[in-house]
Amino acid sequence: MGLFDMVMIKDNHITIAGGITNALKSVDLNLQMEVEVETRTIEEIEKVLEYASQTKTSLTQIMLDNMVVLPNGDVDVSMLEQAVKLIDRRFETEGP
């Protein structure tokens, strides 16, 4: 798989689009390619799952970004565990 085989929506794309739902909509309306979206919070995951349940989307993967390292450098996997439970195998996941 190369850089031309799918779309990866990163945090800067989400910011420019005005949110994760808008970023997904934009890709779905303009491209017919598999999509991976980067999520940083449980709220973003919930928005992605809500969007995917209401529309036909090319989303295939959800990246669980920075969900284990705390600001002080400690590691806490509870948010990562919660994210995986929410996604419940509906999409491939990628994480740290």
How far, in Å, are 68, 69, 75, 76 from residue 72 at the CA level? 11, 8, 9, 11
Q: Which range (11-20, 26-35, 71-80) has the least confidence?
A: 71-80
Band the pLDDT of 1: cuts 50, 70, 90: low
Model confidence at 75: pLDDT above 90: no
| DSSP one-letter code for 69 | B
Asked if 9 and 21 touch (Cβ cutoff 8 Å), the reply is: no
Indicate the pTM of the whole model.
0.89
Is the pLDDT assigned to residue 48 strictly greater than 70?
A: yes
Domains of the chain: 6-91 (3.20.20.70)
Identify the band that residue 3 occupies on the pLDDT scale cut at 50, 70 and 90.
Answer: low
